[in-house]
């Protein structure tokens, strides 16, 4: 009796649930490079290369550990192009009598797997993905007990559950749960920014890069200088490097943006985490250990751990709670198509051009670029959230729907009507000016409020508040903004709105075919 164990491209963990408690002599592990997964959105070239190289390395490691591995390459002439097609072929090839699989990260793939038992006529055992700190049902139980899904309270539960940064008597280390107020220093001159560890491509990675360059030439993004971890060992080295070189300053400068500095003190560990090369607990533990050893301050360790066991776990729980309806949510009724410059980077807004350049070059932009520049602009401009979500899913090497969609639809576009975030993450030029060095170099003047040379974020911000006055005026966290709006003379308000309208007129919609 042969058990077929399909392992999906973001399940590359040796401790994966479906690989546990199995007699290797009776099992065949199936890894599949399939065309449908590469094109359901037209992923960034670097993302495809990363996933295929990591899959091929993982297959080699499994073989070395005594597993029988069936690896279907994209260029296999018999490749059917889909997960279901490849599982069907593999069942026949190996005479499999059962399938064992860890639940998928995405709804789209879950619906495929749910159909296998019936279609193939054999038992399909689907195991919970316990690489996360919080199980899907555990999150649902937590959510059912409250009206509002406040991340902060969830995060405290996860701190208690893991014991990370907790004292022996069950109190948060340092006396406070959350040092967010100490995570907002603007960039200073003279700071040294470390580079993330660059891992030179080996022969497997180079072969994949060459294949992706040839086959996916029309996809967004650059492939040169590929240096991402593609094995658990490399990912662990990248984690150690981050903890030593960047984590000490991560806390203070978490929200800063600097022209030409693509990572600042961020870890760039999300691709390895989301592929399964690192577990969230080992990453968070490494930060806690560095704090315990006195190597990093509390605001760094806490700020970092909050992102991993707080935000990352929270958005995953939210995704499975709110899917599938949330994918279509559009509470602000935004209808504008995505502007073309999200793909080309051709805009005079330096903050936007920089964020798109980062994204094109590395499949990366750090959180504040994603939230307060790229996401903020789209929301202020009234871009259709599903266009925005498609863009984010394509362009980031760490993007899988379970993590991308809540961040886009919920956190950044407020398209879920405030289920994830009680207040929209909207900001004018003053915020970007405070947190970056971009504005001094931009052709727009951040101090000018209206007119052709004024920073577009300024008028767009007020226009957004005016457009959505009925929804937001009574929001307790926005009272101050509307008080400011009310104090303006009518002709000033009118000038903001006219300026925003004139700017929006200039936006070129994206050409068809970039994302899908
Ligand atoms: P660091 O700043 O070093 O943070 C450490 C880790 O914390 C990250 O590696 C990541 O695993 C986790 N993390 C931090 N913030 C979040 C968050 N909001 N949600 C989930 N995990 C978080 N993250 C993705 O992994 N994939 C995505 O597709 C994705 N899309 C996003 C879209 C938008 C609009 C926004 C606002 C955020 C998105 N994020 C996404 C979250 C966050 O921006 C990235 O995780 C982070 O920039 C990755 O870079 P890093 O590893 O250097 O992060
Ligand atoms: C993103 C991606 C891509 C581009 N290609 C593959 C692939 O060929 N084979 C595979 O197993 N996984 C791939 N992935 C990741 C899948 O889309 C991912 O496993 C699902 O998102 C999980 O729900
Ligand atoms: Fe961005 Fe406005 Fe600053 Fe230019 S002036 S970089 S558009 S915030």
Q: Please state the rounded mean pLDDT for residues 287-307.
A: 97
3-state class (DSSP) for residue 96? strand
pLDDT at 189 over 90: no
Q: Please state the rounded mean pLDDT for residues 267-281.
A: 98
How far is 377 from 426, CA to CA, in rounded Å?
Answer: 8
According to the model, what pLDDT value does residue 1 have?
Answer: 83
Q: What is the pLDDT of residues 415-469, one digit of tens each?
A: 999 999 999 999 999 999 999 999 999 999 999 999 999 999 999 999 999 999 9
Q: Which CATH superfamily is domain 2-127 in?
A: HUPs (3.40.50.620)
- Residue 182 pLDDT grade (very low, low, confident, very high; cuts 50, 70, 90): confident
103 lines ligand 2 (CB under 6 A): no
Outline where 192-255 has alpha helix (H): 203-215, 232-245, 247-250
3-state class (DSSP) for residue 335? coil
Mean pLDDT of the chain: 97
- Residue 181 pLDDT grade (very low, low, confident, very high; cuts 50, 70, 90): confident
pLDDT at 183 over 90: no
pTM: 0.98
Q: Report the nearest atom of ligand 3 relative to the CA of 457.
A: 2
Pairing mode, strands 124-127 and 96-102: parallel
- Residue 251 pLDDT grade (very low, low, confident, very high; cuts 50, 70, 90): confident
Q: How many degrees, rounded to 5, is the angle at CA 262 between CA 260 and CA 264?
A: 105
The alpha carbon of 459 and the centre of ligand 1 are apart by a number of angstroms equal to: 29
pLDDT at 169 over 90: yes
According to the model, what pLDDT value does residue 63 have?
Answer: 98
- 3.40.50.300, 1.10.260.40, 1.10.10.10, 1.25.40.80: CATH of 136-196+246-322: 1.25.40.80
Residues of the chain with CATH 1.25.40.80: 136-196+246-322
According to the model, what pLDDT value does residue 191 have?
Answer: 86
Architecture of domain 341-505: Orthogonal Bundle (1.10)
- Residue 397 pLDDT grade (very low, low, confident, very high; cuts 50, 70, 90): very high
Q: Please state the rounded mean pLDDT for residues 102-118.
A: 98
Who's near 155: CB < 8 A, 6+ residues apart? 177, 178, 306, 309, 310, 311, 314
34 lines ligand 2 (CB under 6 A): yes
According to the model, what pLDDT value does residue 394 have?
Answer: 98
302 lines ligand 1 (CB under 6 A): no
Q: Please state the rounded mean pLDDT for residues 482-487.
A: 97
According to the model, what pLDDT value does residue 465 have?
Answer: 98
Q: Report the nearest atom of ligand 3 relative to the CA of 350.
A: 6
Q: What is the pLDDT of residues 59-80, one digit of tens each?
A: 999 999 999 999 999 999 999 9
Tokens of 239: 């984690």
How far is 180 from 259, CA to CA, in rounded Å?
Answer: 24
Q: What DSSP character marks residue 19?
A: G
Contact 32, 209 (CB under 8 A): no
Q: What is the pLDDT of residues 83-102, one digit of tens each?
A: 999 999 999 999 999 999 99
By the 10 Å C-beta count (0-12 exposed, 13-18 middle, 19+ buried), 183 is classed as buried
% of the chain at pLDDT higher than 70: 100
The alpha carbon of 334 and the centre of ligand 1 are apart by a number of angstroms equal to: 24
Residue of 178, 352, 363, 398 to test ligand 1 pocket, by largest number of atoms within 8 Å of CB: 398
pLDDT at 188 over 90: no
pLDDT at 333 over 90: yes
- Residue 219 pLDDT grade (very low, low, confident, very high; cuts 50, 70, 90): very high
- Residue 39 pLDDT grade (very low, low, confident, very high; cuts 50, 70, 90): very high
According to the model, what pLDDT value does residue 171 have?
Answer: 96
How far is 290 from 297, CA to CA, in rounded Å?
Answer: 9
pLDDT at 8 over 90: yes
Residues of the chain with CATH 3.40.50.620: 2-127
Core vs surface per residue 64-97: b (16+ CB within 10 A) or e: eeebbbbbbebeeeebbbbbbbbbebbbebbebe
Q: What's the helix, strand, coil split of the chain in %, to 5?
A: 55, 10, 40
- Residue 190 pLDDT grade (very low, low, confident, very high; cuts 50, 70, 90): confident
446 lines ligand 3 (CB under 6 A): yes
Residues of the chain with CATH 1.10.579.10: 341-505
Residue nearest atom 11 in ligand 1 by C-alpha distance: 270
Contact 180, 303 (CB under 8 A): yes
DSSP 367-426: HHIIIIIIIHHHHHHTB-HHHHHHHHHHH-TT--HHHHHIIIIIIIT-TTTTSS-SS---
Cα distances (Å, whole numbers) of residue 295 to 193, 265, 290? 17, 15, 5
């Amino acid at each position: 009796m042969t058990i077929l164990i399909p392992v999906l491209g973001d399940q590359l963990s040796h401790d994966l649930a479906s690989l546990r408690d199995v007699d290797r002599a009776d099992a065949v592990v199936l890894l599949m490079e399939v065309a449908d997964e590469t094109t359901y959105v037209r992923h960034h070239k670097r993302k495809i290369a990363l996933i295929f190289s990591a899959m091929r390395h993982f297959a080699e490691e499994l073989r070395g550990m005594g597993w029988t591995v069936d690896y279907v390459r994209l260029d296999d002439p018999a490749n059917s192009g889909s997960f279901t097609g490849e599982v069907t072929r593999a069942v026949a090839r190996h005479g499999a009598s059962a399938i064992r699989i860890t639940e998928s990260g995405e709804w789209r793939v879950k619906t495929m797997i749910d159909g296998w038992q019936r279609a193939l006529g054999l038992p399909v055992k689907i195991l919970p993905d316990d690489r996360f700190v919080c199980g899907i049902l555990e999150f649902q139980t937590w959510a059912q007990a409250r009206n509002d899904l406040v991340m902060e309270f969830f995060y405290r539960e996860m701190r208690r559950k893991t014991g990370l940064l907790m004292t022996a008597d069950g109190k948060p280390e340092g006396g406070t749960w959350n040092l967010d107020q100490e995570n907002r220093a603007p960039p200073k001159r003279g700071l040294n920014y470390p580079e993330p560890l660059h891992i030179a491509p080996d022969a497997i990675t180079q072969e994949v890069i060459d294949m992706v360059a040839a086959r996916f030439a029309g996809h967004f993004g650059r492939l040169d200088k590929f240096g991402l971890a593609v094995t658990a060992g490399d990912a662990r080295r990248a984690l150690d490097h981050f903890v030593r070189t960047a984590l000490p300053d991560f806390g203070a400068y978490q929200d800063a943006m600097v022209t030409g500095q693509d990572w600042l003190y961020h870890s760039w560990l999300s691709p390895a985490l989301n592929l399964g090369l690192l577990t969230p607990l080992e990453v968070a533990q490494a930060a806690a250990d560095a704090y315990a050893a006195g190597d990093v301050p509390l605001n760094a360790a806490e700020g970092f751990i909050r992102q991993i066991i707080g935000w990352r776990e929270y958005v995953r729980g939210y995704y499975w709670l709110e899917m599938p309806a949330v994918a279509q949510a559009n509470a602000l009724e935004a209808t504008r198509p995505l502007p073309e410059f999200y793909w080309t980077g051709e805009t005079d807004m330096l903050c936007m051009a920089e964020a798109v350049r980062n994204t094109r070059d590395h499949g990366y932009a750090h959180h504040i670029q994603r939230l307060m520049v790229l996401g903020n602009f789209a929301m202020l401009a009234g871009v259709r959230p599903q266009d925005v979500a498609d863009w984010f899913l394509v362009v980031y090497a760490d993007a899988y729907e379970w993590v991308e969609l809540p961040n886009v639809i919920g956190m950044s576009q407020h398209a879920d009507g405030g289920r994830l975030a009680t207040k929209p993450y909207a900001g004018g030029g003053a915020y970007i000016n405070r947190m970056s060095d971009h504005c001094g170099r931009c052709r727009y003047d951040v101090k000018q409020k209206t007119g052709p040379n004024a920073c577009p974020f300024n008028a767009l911000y007020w226009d957004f508040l005016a457009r959505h006055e009925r929804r937001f005026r009574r929001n307790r966290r926005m009272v101050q903004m509307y008080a400011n709006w009310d104090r303006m003379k009518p002709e000033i308000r009118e000038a903001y709105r006219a300026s925003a309208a004139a700017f929006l007129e200039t936006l070129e919609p994206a050409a068809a075919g970039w994302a899908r």
